[in-house]
Amino acid sequence: MNRSVIWRSAPALPLSRQLYGAQCHRSFACSAYLAREHDPRIKALGREISDDYAIIREKYETPKYPIVLAHGLFGFAELRLSPYFPAVEYWHGIRDALTAQGATVLTPTVPPSSSIADRATALRSALEAHAPMPEAVTIVAHSMGGLDARYMLSHLAPLPVRVAAVVTVATPHRGSAFADYLLDEEVSPLHHYLPQLYQTFEKAGLGTAAFSQLTRRYMAEEFNPSTPDQPDVRYFSYGAAVERPALLSPFRHPHAVMTQAEGPNDGLVSVESSHWGTYKGTLLGVSHLDLINWSNRVGWTVREWMGIKKNFNAIAFYLDIADMLAKEATLPRTLDENPPSSTFAPRDPVIALAVDKRGIGEGRNRQHLTGIRGHSRSPDVSQKAPRRNTTST
């Protein structure tokens, strides 16, 4: 595998100036100008957020509508391994911090590795079970949870409650190159074990459809063309990017695969794939698990001993999202006053082109796309969505 695209440690520089292009090889001689000129992927960084969320501010606005925290792949609201140990929370400390600021917070649990459709259905059921029913809610979703929210809004209407806004954090809206890699029978180290792994999941009552649905092909050809944004919902997104993880980090190999294929990433999801709706910026030096406050505390302790300042506090980040929602997540006029347009154009130009060719709704019921040859059925994808390296703004 070509590994000419690499990271170099340069804490004083923006992350976009730390990514050197293929011409740099392993030399420090390449300029930031050369990197920018020859690697267009760094343009997807948008606003670079380095230490905006290093500390918790004294004042945050409280959002009017309840916040629904939607978890990602293999997620949960609360996991209790033993009655003798405290429960493990997916949103570690985040729910409590939001509640302390006066926000109403819901943390539904959806099937950890099932299809997007099944997860979205569970998310809808969780909203339906909530009482009393609020006027509206906002959804803040990490990783795959953002796809669940988008599917629910597009395909499971009418919903039991209106959704004013969706904020996605490191959601693979265009799939993940690491998912492609794991399901590629020619290069994946897991290829020979996948049938047994799938059987184990099924015996445990877990789904397996999520894996093939996180591939870039599935998202480009199936999910995005059939899942348009809703005109009365505001969509916001954040991405994250880290330099090359430490030698023993679980993200080291995924990060290398992702960097080679997609550019800056958080170890599992690229910045480019994170863009959807209004892109609020890229969190620098933040991994996929840092985003839900699962930071490596030992690693940060060592960094502090070395005089390296911690630049990200997940609690401060989500409090700021709540503050933003308090100011920007407002409901439009009632449907009687503001009827939905019969000609709806999605926010993403790639999806707009695909919808124009295939029609909104085509392929909605397709739950799988071949990711492992011989292990899943392949729907008819003869009409492929146009492929362009384009992101939402």
**Digit-coded pLDDT (tens) for 251-293:** 899 999 999 999 999 999 999 999 999 999 999 999 999 999 8
What distance in Å separates the CA atoms of residue 252 and residue 7, rounded to the nearest whole number? 12
Percent of the chain with pLDDT over 90: 48
- Compute the average pLDDT of residues 95-123: 94
- Residue 361 scores a pLDDT above 50: no
Q: Where in the chain is the domain with CATH 3.40.50.1820?
A: 41-331+342-358
Q: Decide: 114 and 201 in contact? Cβ < 8 Å.
A: no
323 backbone dihedrals φ, ψ, rounded to 5°:
-60, -45
Helix and strand counts by DSSP (H, E) for the chain: 14, 11
Euclidean distance between the first and final Cα of the chain, in Å?
32
Q: Decide: 142 and 291 in contact? Cβ < 8 Å.
A: yes
Q: Whose CA is closest to 11, among 306, 263, 254?
A: 306
* Bridge pairing between strands 234-241 and 278-284: parallel
Q: Can you give 300-322 as a three-state secondary structure string? A: HHHHHHCCCCCCCCHHHHHHHHH
- Residue 388 scores a pLDDT above 60: no
Sequence-distant (6+) residues with CB within 8 A of 71 are 77, 90, 91, 107, 109, 110, 141, 142, 143, 145
What distance in Å separates the CA atoms of residue 133 and residue 156, rounded to the nearest whole number? 18
- What pLDDT is attached to residue 36? 43
Residues pairing with 138 in the sheet: 67, 165
- Compute the average pLDDT of residues 16-23: 40
Q: Decide: 369 and 381 in contact? Cβ < 8 Å.
A: yes
**Digit-coded pLDDT (tens) for 287-310:** 999 999 867 555 555 566 666 677
- Residue 178 scores a pLDDT above 60: yes
**Out of 113-117, 145-149, 365-369, 387-391, least confident range:** 365-369
Half-sphere exposure of residue 293: CA atoms within 13 angstroms, side-chain side = 20
Helix, strand or coil for residue 34?
helix
Q: Right CATH number for 41-331+342-358 from 3.10.105.10, 3.10.129.10, 3.30.365.10, 3.40.50.1820? A: 3.40.50.1820
- Sequential DSSP letters for 161-202: SEEEEEEEES--TT--HHHHHHH-TTT-TTGGGHHHHHHHHH
- Residue 346 scores a pLDDT above 50: no
What distance in Å separates the CA atoms of residue 291 and residue 64, rounded to the nearest whole number? 24
Query: Which helix (H) or strand (E) is 255 found in, with range?
Result: helix 252-262
- Compute the average pLDDT of residues 144-162: 97
What distance in Å separates the CA atoms of residue 379 and residue 155, rounded to the nearest whole number? 19
Q: What is the pTM of this model?
A: 0.72
- Compute the average pLDDT of residues 71-90: 65
Residue matched to tokens 């550019």: 263
Residue 190 has which token pair? 């897991």
**CA Rg value for the chain:** 21
- Residue 217 scores a pLDDT above 60: yes
- Whether residue 172 is preceded by a cis peptide bond, meaning omega within 30 degrees of 0, is no
Confidence label for 88 from pLDDT (cuts 50, 70 and 90): low
Q: Which amino acid is at 223?
A: F
Helix, strand or coil for residue 250?
coil
